[in-house]
């Protein structure tokens, strides 16, 4: 796909002319949704185009495009962002322009806060916690309880009050081009609201100072953290576009081990849970991360929700959940996966379909080193489906489901109960994705 034809990066006047040269370059006419009455559309007022994934369904996703001047904000600090977001229950349309990088771990005056600041006054200390719940004395049959667990929870609550930003309905949160716009150490929480746009932002270093030890998680127990960079919980009509997600600068390889298990301070990058629905995730970059995108937080989530489109994203140095899908109807297309080990992040799988998820994965491209088996690119629990076509591995069309099923005792099903129709911009071949997405995905591309 010719990079200059990418409609979302343009602020030029739209016309009704689609040149034969563009069509010949392989861009479907649907990728260029033109509106004779649109005039010049600036980045902050752009809305999701018709038929661009599940978030375009029904009323579509317009975010805060109807915001008046009193509800249009430019913010550069944590305190300003909190004020601009206002109450999570206020449905007044608003546009929030983030200029530069906002450090969530700061107080209202801009002073840097550390884990020690959040722990102060709670009675929590890591050394005391480790002593209290050492499996050799506490055992492995129950979750931690008592003084130190209460102190840990209190410290975690203090951090959450500072770093969790609750996004109301009818809101666009957009990075100002050319300013390295983003949020470090924070979480955008889009919960039980409708119609939100998140674009052109770099999310980094979302870290939990106070992971909880769960000795019952898996065979050996696990440390579990609490914050995603962007989390959708019961949200509808959400468009996440042209963002970048990374653990940097603190990578998982720097995490210590306690009780023989990694002390994991990172959770998800972009999670879509609690019956969220009608979501489009497009042209983002995900890198240097483990548990990337969870669709559905439980195998028992009700059917009929969790309809998500994931397209034209770049995954590089991702361990798993790209995505992990439960229950819903998920369309995964035109993404680029480079599963070469990076900075200690080695792939476990790319796409997981479980809990009767109905996944259509088409025209994606995987770059796979000789050290990684193709059978590892997919995963499932024996109840999920993946209908795959046109997927390339190192440039060759490959039946990923067949490769996985040949090596697994829990086969992925190969038929689904739906047919994607909201497919504007779907490219019929994945062969050019490694080149085109390198310059059209992630934060900092939009002008």
Does residue 336 carry a pLDDT above 50? yes
pLDDT at 375: 98
Confidence at residue 27, expressed as pLDDT on a 0 to 100 scale: 35
Of the pLDDT bands very low, low, confident and very high (cuts 50, 70, 90), residue 267 is very high
Q: Percent of the chain at pLDDT above 90?
A: 91
Higher pLDDT pick, 246 / 28 = 246
At 3 the pLDDT is 38
At 217, the pLDDT band (50, 70, 90 cuts) reads very high
Three-class SS string for the chain?
Answer: CCHHHCHHHCCCCCCCCCCHHHHHCCCCHHHCCCCCCCCCCCHHHCCCCCCECHHHCCCCCCCCCCCCHHHEEEECCHHHHHHHHCCCCCCCCEEEEECCEEECCECCCCCECCHHHHHCCCCCCHHHHHHHCCHHHHCCCCCCCCHHHHHHHHHHHHHHHHHEEECCCCEEEEECCCCCCEEECCEEEEECCEEEEEECCEEECCCCCCCEEECCCCCCCEEECCCCCEEEECCEEEEEECCEEECCCCCHHHCCEECCEECCCCCCCEEEECCCEEEEEECCEEEEEEECCEECCCCCCCCCCCCEEEECCEEEEEEECCCEEECCEEEEECCEEECCCECCECCCCCEEEECCCEEEEECCEEECCCCCCHHHHEEECCCCEEEEECCEECCEECCHHHHHHHHCCCCCECCCCCCCCCECCCCCCCCCHHHHHHHHCCCCCCC
**Averaged pLDDT for residues 54-79:** 98
Specify the pLDDT at position 122.
98
Segment 84-97, tens digit of pLDDT: 999 999 999 999 99
Q: What is the mean pLDDT of residues 378-404?
A: 98
| Amino acid 25: pLDDT | 34
Catalytic residue among 78, 152, 321, 326: 321
pLDDT at 41: 65
What's the pLDDT score for residue 156? 98
Is residue 112 predicted with pLDDT exceeding 80?
A: yes
Report the mean per-residue pLDDT for the chain: 92
pLDDT at 76 over 60: yes
Q: How confident is the model at residue 58 (pLDDT cuts 50, 70, 90)?
A: very high
Would you state the pLDDT for residue 40? 56
94 given a catalytic annotation: no
């Amino acid at each position: 796909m010719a990079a200059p034809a990418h409609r979302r990066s343009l602020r030029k006047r739209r016309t009704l002319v689609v040149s034969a040269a563009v069509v010949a370059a392989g861009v479907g006419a649907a990728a260029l949704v033109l509106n004779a009455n649109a005039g010049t559309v600036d980045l902050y007022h752009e809305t999701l185009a018709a038929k661009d994934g599940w978030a375009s369904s029904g009323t579509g996703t317009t975010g805060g495009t109807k915001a008046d001047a009193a509800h249009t904000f430019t913010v550069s600090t944590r305190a300003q962002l909190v004020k601009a977001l206002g109450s999570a229950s206020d449905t007044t349309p608003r546009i929030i322009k983030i200029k530069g990088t906002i450090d969530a771990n700061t107080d209202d005056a801009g002073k840097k806060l550390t884990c020690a600041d959040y722990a102060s006054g709670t009675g929590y200390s890591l050394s005391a916690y480790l002593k209290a719940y050492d499996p050799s004395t506490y055992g492995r049959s129950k979750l931690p309880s008592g003084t130190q667990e209460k102190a840990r929870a209190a410290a975690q609550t203090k951090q959450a009050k500072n770093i969790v930003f609750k996004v109301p309905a009818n809101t666009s949160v957009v990075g100002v081009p050319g300013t390295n716009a983003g949020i470090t150490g924070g979480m955008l929480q889009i919960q039980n609201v409708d119609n939100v746009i998140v674009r052109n932002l770099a999310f980094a270093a979302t870290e939990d100072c106070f992971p909880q030890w769960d000795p019952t998680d898996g065979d050996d127990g696990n440390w579990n953290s609490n914050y995603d960079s962007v989390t959708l919980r019961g949200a509808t009509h959400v468009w996440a576009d042209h963002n970048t997600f990374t653990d940097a600068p603190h990578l998982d390889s720097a995490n210590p081990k306690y009780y023989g298990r990694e002390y994991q301070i990172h959770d998800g990058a972009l999670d879509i849970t609690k019956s969220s629905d009608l979501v489009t995730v497009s042209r983002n970059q995900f890198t240097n991360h483990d548990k990337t995108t969870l669709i559905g937080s439980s195998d028992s989530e009700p059917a009929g929700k969790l309809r998500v489109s994931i397209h034209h994203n770049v995954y590089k140095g991702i361990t798993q959940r790209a995505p992990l899908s439960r229950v819903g109807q998920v369309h995964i297309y035109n993404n680029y996966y480079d599963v070469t080990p990076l900075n200690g992040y080695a792939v476990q799988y790319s796409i997981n379909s479980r809990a009767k998820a109905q996944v259509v994965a088409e025209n994606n491209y995987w770059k796979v080193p000789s050290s990684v088996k193709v059978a590892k690119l997919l995963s499932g629990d024996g109840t999920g489906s993946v209908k795959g076509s046109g997927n390339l591995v190192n440039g060759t069309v490959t039946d990923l489901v067949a490769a996985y099923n040949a090596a697994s005792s829990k086969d992925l099903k190969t038929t689904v109960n739906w047919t994607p129709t909201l497919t504007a911009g779907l490219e019929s071949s994945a062969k050019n994705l490694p080149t085109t997405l390198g310059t059209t995905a992630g934060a900092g591309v939009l002008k």
